[in-house]
Structure 1
Amino acid sequence: MNIKLQKSTLHLQSNIAITGSKSETNRLLLLQALYPNITIDNISNSDDAQLMQKALSSTETVKDIHHAGTAMRFLTAYYATRDGQEITLTGSSRMQERPIKILVEALQQLGADIQYTNNEGYPPLRINGKKLTKNSVTLAANVSSQYISALLLIAPTLKNGISLTLDGNITSVPYINMTLSLLNELGVQTNFEGNIITVAAFKALSATKKFTVESDWSSASYFYSLIALSKIGTEITLSSYKKNSLQGDSCLAEIYTKFGVETSFQNNSITLCKTREATQETIKLDLKNAPDIAQTIAVTAFGLQLSCEMIGLHTLKIKETDRLVALKTELEKLGASVDITDESLHLHKATNINENISIATYKDHRMAMAFAPLSLRVPIQIEKADVVSKSFPDFWADIQKIGIKVTET
């Protein structure tokens, strides 16, 4: 499905309910598989969460998680601990290009039996589940926090828990803390000091434990961008959010003050309001703890004709696509000048935005959604727009509710 977004104006006031966090949902689904007494409310309706649920409930010996990267990492660890169960874990062609060797080697340090069925270091994986008795493991810390969280989630079920040493600079610390917080809420004892994380063994839940998933902050980022590109006084209320969020992308509330957007918290909702124009000509950010919002921020800055310098983006090269290259390519079609390295992006101030440009999405949900707010400046087309179902299936319907004119082409 390709769509055209006509040049639009947002309604002055709008309300949108956003589905549960994909990150929290997938962590809780894995914990629920390990501890069936867990119940979960406000589960994400994203493709990734549905694929995770399907894989966990399926009795098939081949588990195909398509394009769900979090599920690939978490399920690799999960099935490595399923004593006597042998499965093959595979995914889409892009998934088979995304590295997983660091996680596999860490699990092998614990005694796991995992082989590559095609290219070494990449899915598909043949996993022969067994009881893992070792508890000491070292892992490179600067690639993906999902590798770390995968180990932490299975740790309570291991006989001796886990002592995890992180080698190097740690990436996306908020996502690690999210995992540890959910374990703590379950009753698991954890400790995170310096570069060492310990998780104690935890036998079983004695009673039902209910978790309610907070709505997804990554999904909220596109509404922050829309408000930033709107006229002063425009506001959107989003539910359900909390001030003390476990999600790293909640830093949006602070970051978008640079673009003139203020966030107020009330009754499990946030209201975003454009209160002023941006006062800085260059936005400088280190996004090592929240790299998933880089695309949205880059497009916001471009739409406001600001320059933007972002570092800490090294994990973007191993996402659904190489997001740094994709951003540079699509922004330059619109008239931008962009410099990238392996971990940074520098957007130069634009003087013009080209109209009716067709944005390629590279099978990446965030490419589709990040560029949509530019429809407040110029008409724009989004190719293969249904890719948003990976994390936010209701996206196109929701932005129509607030004033964006969307037509299929």
Structure 2
Amino acid sequence: MHITLQKSKTAKQSSIQITGSKSESNRLLLLKALYPEISLDNVSNSDDSQLMAKALASSSNIVDINHAGTAMRFLTAFFAVLEGREVVLTGSKRMKERPIKILVNALQDLGADISYVENEGFPPIKIKGKKLIKNKVSLKANVSSQYISALLLIASKLENGLELTLEGEVTSIPYIKMTLSLLDEIGVESSFINNTITVKPNTKTQKPKTLTVESDWSSASYYFSIVALSDVGTEITLSSYKENSLQGDSALIDIYKAFGVETVSYKNTITLKKVSENKEPKSFNLVNAPDIAQTIAVTCFALGIACDLTGLHTLKIKETDRLVALKVEIEKLGGKVDITNDSLYLHPSNSIKEMVSIATYHDHRMAMAFAPLALKTPIIIEDAMVVSKSYPTFWDDLKSVGFKITQ
């Protein structure tokens, strides 16, 4: 379904309740499967989290997780330790092009029984669950943090725990720390010293406890962009957010200060307020928050300012090659973008073409990142329901802040 966003203007004040973090939800859903005494509140209503929950509850010997990359990585580790269970883990055409070899190799080093069904290094994979005795493994540190988190999430169920050595410079540290913090919340002991993460085995029965998932900061990014593109004095309040968030994308608070957006925390809400105009060129290293690169690039394009984004090497293996996709779509709109393997440079531009049709590449973040442009010019978003992957109510929420949307 394509939708048209007419040129819009935001309400002066509005508020939105955002669904639970997909990152936290998927980690906690897996931990709940390992430790059934846990209960969860504010779980993400995203496609990815629903697919994760369904896969964990499935008794089938074929589990299809479609486009859900996090689920593919986490479930690879989960099924490897599920003794006596044999399963083929598969996904969409794009999922079969996304590498899994680094994680599979690490699990095999720990003794896991995993083989490739079609192409070496890629899903689908056949997993025979068994008890894993070995407890030492090394992994390149600059790979997707989801490989690292997948190992950490199952570590307490390994016979001897896990000692994971990360080789080289560690990227996406906030996501690793999120995983370790959630383990801590359920009573699993761990340490992260220099480049070694140790997780102790946990044989104790969990005490029943309820964990509340914080709302998703990546989803909040689109409202930071909207406020940055709105008039001074515009305010949007978002809930439910913690002041000391585990999510790396909470870096938005500092990043969007550079666009004149102030963030005020109160109880479990944040209020974003446009306090000034700032048209200076922007430069950000997003190695710890690559998922907000698309949002920031579009914000800068809409404001006509240059931006230099680095630390983006993981964007090439997402739902699409996000660097190429950004370049193609921004240049359709009249911008100019240079990309390398891990960076994006946006040249300043003074005009935006009207009624351009934005391709979304099966990527929820392409649809949502480009939506705020409607504050400057009418645009068309192709395959608009792709947003359900992480934020199913996105278009309704945009209408509630003043956007005019037609199918």
TM over 0.5: yes
- Aligned-pair CA distance for 1:279: 4.8
Q: Which residue is equivalent to 1:390?
A: 389
| In structure 1, C-alpha distance between the alignment counterparts of 2:112 and 2:180, rounded to whole Å | 23
Q: Which residue is equivalent to 1:241?
A: 241
State whether residues 279 and 305 of structure 2, in contact with CA within 8 Å, keep that contact through their aligned partners in structure 1.
no
| In structure 2, C-alpha distance between the alignment counterparts of 1:115 and 1:185, rounded to whole Å | 34
Q: Which residue is equivalent to 1:400?
A: 399
The RMSD of aligned alpha carbons is: 0.6
- Give the % identical residues: 65
The amino acid across from 2:357 in the alignment is S
CA offsets per residue over residues 332-389 of structure 1, 9 Å max, x none? 0001110000000000001111110000000000000000000000000000000000
Q: Which residue is equivalent to 2:302?
A: 303
Whether 1:62 aligns to 2:62 is yes
| In structure 2, C-alpha distance between the alignment counterparts of 1:252 and 1:393, rounded to whole Å | 22
Whether 1:164 aligns to 2:164 is yes
| In structure 2, C-alpha distance between the alignment counterparts of 1:105 and 1:261, rounded to whole Å | 44
After superposition, where does 1:370-385 map in structure 2 within 5 Å? 370-385=369-384
Q: Which residue is equivalent to 1:40?
A: 40
CA offsets per residue over residues 105-135 of structure 1, 9 Å max, x none? 0000100000000000000000011000000
- Aligned-pair CA distance for 1:83: 1.0
Q: Which residue is equivalent to 2:226?
A: 226
State whether residues 306 and 346 of structure 2, in contact with CA within 8 Å, keep that contact through their aligned partners in structure 1.
yes
What is the SS of the residue equivalent to 1:300?
A: helix
Q: Which residue is equivalent to 1:190?
A: 190
After superposition, where does 1:195-274 map in structure 2 within 5 Å? 195-274=195-274
What is the SS of the residue equivalent to 1:339?
A: strand
CA offsets per residue over residues 174-210 of structure 1, 9 Å max, x none? 0000000000111111110111100000113342021
The amino acid across from 2:318 in the alignment is K
The amino acid across from 1:178 in the alignment is M
What is the SS of the residue equivalent to 2:152?
A: helix
State whether residues 356 and 380 of structure 2, in contact with CA within 8 Å, keep that contact through their aligned partners in structure 1.
yes
Q: Which residue is equivalent to 1:360?
A: 359
What is the SS of the residue equivalent to 1:366?
A: helix
| In structure 2, C-alpha distance between the alignment counterparts of 1:278 and 1:393, rounded to whole Å | 32
Q: Closer, same or farther in 2 for the Cα pair 1:279/1:334, shift >3 Å?
A: closer
| In structure 2, C-alpha distance between the alignment counterparts of 1:399 and 1:105, rounded to whole Å | 43
| In structure 1, C-alpha distance between the alignment counterparts of 2:75 and 2:23, rounded to whole Å | 14
CA offsets per residue over residues 35-72 of structure 1, 9 Å max, x none? 00000000000000000000010111000000000000
What is the SS of the residue equivalent to 1:157?
A: coil
Whether 1:52 aligns to 2:43 is no
| In structure 2, C-alpha distance between the alignment counterparts of 1:83 and 1:198, rounded to whole Å | 23
| In structure 2, C-alpha distance between the alignment counterparts of 1:206 and 1:85, rounded to whole Å | 23
What is the SS of the residue equivalent to 1:40?
A: strand
| In structure 2, C-alpha distance between the alignment counterparts of 1:262 and 1:328, rounded to whole Å | 29
State whether residues 291 and 313 of structure 1, in contact with CA within 8 Å, keep that contact through their aligned partners in structure 2.
yes
The amino acid across from 1:188 in the alignment is V
Q: Which residue is equivalent to 2:80?
A: 80
| In structure 2, C-alpha distance between the alignment counterparts of 1:76 and 1:141, rounded to whole Å | 19
Q: Which residue is equivalent to 1:291?
A: 290
The amino acid across from 1:222 in the alignment is Y
What is the SS of the residue equivalent to 1:259?
A: coil
State whether residues 116 and 122 of structure 1, in contact with CA within 8 Å, keep that contact through their aligned partners in structure 2.
yes
Q: Which residue is equivalent to 1:102?
A: 102
| In structure 2, C-alpha distance between the alignment counterparts of 1:404 and 1:20, rounded to whole Å | 23
State whether residues 35 and 204 of structure 1, in contact with CA within 8 Å, keep that contact through their aligned partners in structure 2.
no
In the superposition, the TM-score normalised over structure 2's length comes to: 0.99
Runs of 4+ in 1 over 3 A off after TM superposition: none
State whether residues 307 and 348 of structure 1, in contact with CA within 8 Å, keep that contact through their aligned partners in structure 2.
yes
CA offsets per residue over residues 122-150 of structure 1, 9 Å max, x none? 00000011000000000111120000000
| In structure 1, C-alpha distance between the alignment counterparts of 2:171 and 2:75, rounded to whole Å | 21
In the superposition, the TM-score normalised over structure 1's length comes to: 0.99
| In structure 1, C-alpha distance between the alignment counterparts of 2:6 and 2:181, rounded to whole Å | 43
Q: Which residue is equivalent to 1:178?
A: 178
| In structure 2, C-alpha distance between the alignment counterparts of 1:5 and 1:184, rounded to whole Å | 44
The amino acid across from 2:373 in the alignment is L
Q: Closer, same or farther in 2 for the Cα pair 1:335/1:161, shift >3 Å?
A: same
- Structure 1: segments with no counterpart, 5+ residues: none
- Structure 2: segments with no counterpart, 5+ residues: none
- Aligned-pair CA distance for 1:267: 1.8
What is the SS of the residue equivalent to 2:258?
A: helix
- Aligned-pair CA distance for 1:169: 1.4
| In structure 1, C-alpha distance between the alignment counterparts of 2:339 and 2:264, rounded to whole Å | 34
What is the SS of the residue equivalent to 1:378?
A: coil
